[in-house]
Amino acid sequence: MSASLRAHQLTVSQGAVVVLDRIDLGVAAGDRVGVVGPNGVGKTTLLRALSGEITPEHGRVTLHPTTATIVRVPQESAAKPGETLADYLARCTGVAAADRRLTAATEALGAQRPGSDTEYADALEAWLALGGADLPERAAAVSEQLGLAAGLVDRGAGQLSGGQSARLRLATALLVRADVLLLDEPTNDLDDSGLQALESMVAGFGGGIVLVSHDREFCARTVERVLEIDEFTHQAREYAGGWQAYLDERAAARARAEEEYETYASTRDDLVARARRQREWARTGAKTAANPRREPDKHIRFREVQRAQRTGAKAAMSERALDRLEVVEEPRDPWELRLTITSAGRGSEVAFALREAVIERGDVRLGPVDLVIGAGERLRITGPNGSGKSTLVEALLGRLPLVSGTSYVGPGVVIGEMDQTRLSLRGPDPLLDVFRGLTALSPVDARTLLAKFRLGAEAVLRPVDSLSPGERTRAGLAVFQARGSTCVVLDEPTNHLDLPAIEQLESALEPYDGTVLLITHDRQLAEHVPVDRELDVRTLSPHSA
């Protein structure tokens, strides 16, 4: 593949708010570009503009050659109710649209419309380039490789587990044959084997890739250039040399900017103080020198006045030097999430227990399970996608009826939960109403707290279903801060969180003295959050005996 994409002076607004301001980006075959920035800065908007899904107010996106293909894989699976797995993959790989275009071109050719032969040739070339000819065979092989049942998507998007949705997105990425591939948070919910498959695909992909990801380990292993979108200017700066080079150069640039500003501010303050002092000396000196009571000799008075005027001239020189001083803007501190997880104590000595429990949901069956989790214990639940991690948590919390056996939740246990799909933050109601229902805060206190999590006046009045994944996750963290708990349940908590927020979450978990149930495939989060023990759910399967 030798195609390339170029974005020139790309500007996108939402109403009166500029989201992206004059973004330049070039992507050639073999390029691996990571796009970073805080939640809400416009990373997904950039991918959508690059793919042609939205039209920028200014600037343009060009493909060379013009017949080159570009596909975006979104961060959340948008499977339609009743859509078959094959139809879903055809749509998301771009093959379905290419097939419709080819069908229309074939009909035009049959009707012998002017230019139909060129239109047909271009449509056929695009269909073949996207892999339309052998997609059914490749889709079947990839689906089997990833453990996706043929009728899975018939259940509807709302019934897909996080792991199943992750595997659908991964299948799309593995099947895409495009000149430029745009990946939006591709690592969300992926297990270790899925991450390895994704990393292998990125390494072996012949075209250019632009990806948005907050998975630090994934970025370190895959990207060769980093495009950082600034939250204040809405412009972008590109860093070469890979992920670690980006981190190092960004830190060095910040240090240089702070040093340059300190030098400028010190020089400016000295000139201002000097000019003020010289003006004051000139004023008081001239007044004193002109006083005949102080000096009767008029000639001496004249010389003293002249001397004071020369001091005033020096003040004017200082002011001119101040005017010539090149202004250096003070580096602005980025928005920082300050998260605390409020503890309500340790609660009951035994937080959760399962006795001879047989657990079943869908294709997952676990048990018999004997498990006791004590107050203040930290447990990380591991296992591949679809193995039953979230199912086990549902049983521990007493929300999933057991096939047999018993479950116990301590009477003093107060649960704070961030589930994998953020189900508590779904629906048509405004965020403010849903958040108040979860926290019992007053409207003023609720708005104040949400604002600290970068959910302002506009966001709190929107239906929660309209929130972006990042906004929904930040709202979930705000619930944690508002509500005391003796146990936090974190099911893939870093999905859709930006890098500073992930680091804040790690820091907030460190002093928390309650029970922690953690499910994560974020390799650095797993490394940075210590646990007392790990439990692989595969050991609880009846097939593991």
Q: What b/e sequence results for 111-132 when a residue is b if at least 16 CB atoms lie within 10 Å of its CB, and e otherwise?
A: eeeeebeebbeebbebbebbbb
Average pLDDT over every residue of 500-508: 82
pLDDT, tens digit, 9 for 90 and up, residues 89-132: 888 888 999 999 999 999 888 888 888 888 999 889 889 888 88
Average pLDDT over every residue of 442-449: 90
pLDDT at 531: 92
pLDDT at 419: 66
pLDDT, tens digit, 9 for 90 and up, residues 205-251: 989 999 998 888 899 999 999 999 988 889 999 999 899 999 998 88
Going by DSSP bridges, is the β-strand pair 487-491/415-418 parallel, antiparallel, or unpaired? Answer: parallel
Q: How many CB atoms lie within 10 A of CB 458?
A: 10
Interatomic CA distance for residues 383 and 17, integer angstroms: 43
pLDDT, tens digit, 9 for 90 and up, residues 356-415: 999 998 778 898 999 999 998 999 999 887 788 889 999 999 989 999 999 999 988 888
Of the chain, the percentage scoring pLDDT greater than 70 comes to 85
pLDDT at 235: 92
Q: For 407-461, give the DSSP string.
A: EEE-TT--EEEE-TT-GGG-SSSBHHHHHHHHH---HHHHHHHHHHTT--HHHHT
Residue 456, pLDDT > 60, answer yes
pLDDT, tens digit, 9 for 90 and up, residues 258-267: 888 888 888 8
Three-class DSSP category at 532: coil
pLDDT at 333: 65
Average pLDDT over every residue of 59-88: 82
- Mean pLDDT is highest, among 39-43, 215-219, 450-454, for 215-219
pLDDT, tens digit, 9 for 90 and up, residues 272-321: 777 776 666 556 654 555 555 555 655 555 565 556 555 556 667 667 77
pLDDT at 295: 53
Distance of CA 416 to the CA centre of its chain: 23
pLDDT at 30: 92
pLDDT at 327: 78
pLDDT at 297: 56
Range name among 67-81, 119-133, 518-532 with the lowest pLDDT average: 67-81
Residue 158, pLDDT > 50, answer no
pLDDT band at 157 (very low <50, low <70, confident <90, very high): very low
pLDDT, tens digit, 9 for 90 and up, residues 400-443: 999 999 999 998 888 888 765 566 777 888 899 988 988 888 99
pLDDT at 35: 95
Tokens of 490: 């974190």
- pTM of the full predicted structure? 0.70
pLDDT at 543: 56
CA atoms within 13 A on the CB side of 69: 23
Range name among 306-310, 346-350, 432-436, 533-537 with the lowest pLDDT average: 306-310
Residue 542, pLDDT > 70, answer no
